[in-house]
Amino acid sequence: MEADFIHENAVSAAQAAAKGYHGVLRIGYTAAAAYEAVPRVIAAYRQRYPLVELELLEMVSTEQIVALRQQRLDLGVLRPVPIKAPLRSHCLLRESLVVAVPQSHPLALCDRIALSDCDGVPFIGFDLRNAPYFNSMVEEILHHAHVAPRFVQRATQTHAVVAMVAAGLGLALVPETCTRIRMENLAFKPLREPPAVGPEVHLCWNRESDSPADQPFRGNRQARAAGAWPGRTPLSQAATHCAAAARTQLRPARLAR
């Protein structure tokens, strides 16, 4: 099935290149999504539609939702937040939570960290207003484990949270993709008993826009209902959906005189 997607878009790319098609695809993304999902999706997409201009806009998830409703974005790569019609979303990536800990902290010597180790210790949380998804997830996990850390700072972006950890201000629960961040005095440790729920990255679009991006997603849902697909879209297929979103915006390029 994935080979069919790749073949289909290889043919489309060749036809687009032969005709000199070009266009613009506006993609919003969160800073955390830039660690893994965005680079892989964009790299695959550019291989298939090299003449399409990509306009990448960093926004928090809630800002992307507003921009998608106003059709100022074609696609959003974001954390799952409540949406209403005409917006739709599909899961691209699921990951685990890990503990960010100062390298100088005694817990940095452990192979794994238990949630109970966070009880009563200084902790960096996520901002309730600007990072509601992570704020809710982290605090619910801590509450369920009967763990009450001492919140000393809060931030919106994951890289800001881990920077405060590296500064020695406390521990934090962050998505696993943050392990790609390199700072002095910073370590990441897996949880001894990982929670059943972990962070997700979603692709979101407006079904009332001119983009036909909904069509490949509808096909995927039908295939999953028949048992042919897993519960999420592999990143290797995400470029297919981006390609579909751009097709209505492609126009023949003018010949240079």
How confident is the model over 14-62, as pLDDT tens digits? 455 444 446 778 889 988 877 777 887 788 777 777 877 888 999 988 8
**Distance from C-alpha of 257 to C-alpha of 66, rounded to nearest angstrom:** 41
- Cα→Cα distances 188→80, 118, 163, 166, Å: 24, 14, 12, 11
Q: Identify the pLDDT of residue 167.
A: 97
Helices (H), the chain: 2-19, 37-48, 61-69, 132-144, 158-166, 214-225, 235-246
Do 141 and 173 form a contact (C-beta atoms < 8 A)?
Answer: yes
Which helix (H) or strand (E) segment holds residue 151: the answer is: strand 150-155
Q: Distance from CA of residue 56 to its chain's centroid?
A: 14
| SS3 label, residue 202 | strand
CA distance 165 to 186: 7
Domain boundaries for CATH 3.40.190.10 within the chain? 2-94+199-252, 97-190
Grouping H, G, I as helix, E, B as strand and the rest as coil, residue 63 is: helix
The whole-number pLDDT of residue 238 equals 55
C-alpha R_g of the chain: 21
Of 152, 134, 136, 154, nearest to 144 (Cα)?
136
pLDDT at 196: 85
Residue with tokens 């100062």: 102
Name the pairing type of β-strands 200-206 and 87-94: antiparallel
Q: Which stretches in the chain have pLDDT values below 50?
A: 1-3, 5-7, 9-11, 13-14, 17-21, 211-233, 236, 245-257
Q: How far is CA 79 from CA 46, 72, 137, 203, in A?
A: 23, 18, 12, 9
pLDDT at 15: 53
CATH architecture of 2-94+199-252: 3-Layer(aba) Sandwich (3.40)
Q: Give the CA-trace dihedral at 72, 55, 232, 48, to 10 degrees.
A: 130
Right CATH number for 97-190 from 3.40.190.10, 3.40.50.300, 3.40.50.150, 3.40.50.1820?
Answer: 3.40.190.10
What is the model's pLDDT at position 127? 93
* Backbone angles phi and psi of 2, in degrees to 5: -65, -35
Q: How far apart are CA 141 and CA 196, in angstroms?
A: 10
Q: Given phi > 0 = left and psi -120 to 50 = alpha, else beta, which region is 78?
A: beta
Residue pair 198/178 in contact by the 8 Å Cβ criterion: no
Residue 142's CB: how many other CB atoms inside 10 A?
20
pLDDT computed for residue 37 by the predictor: 78
DSSP 8-state code for residue 85: T
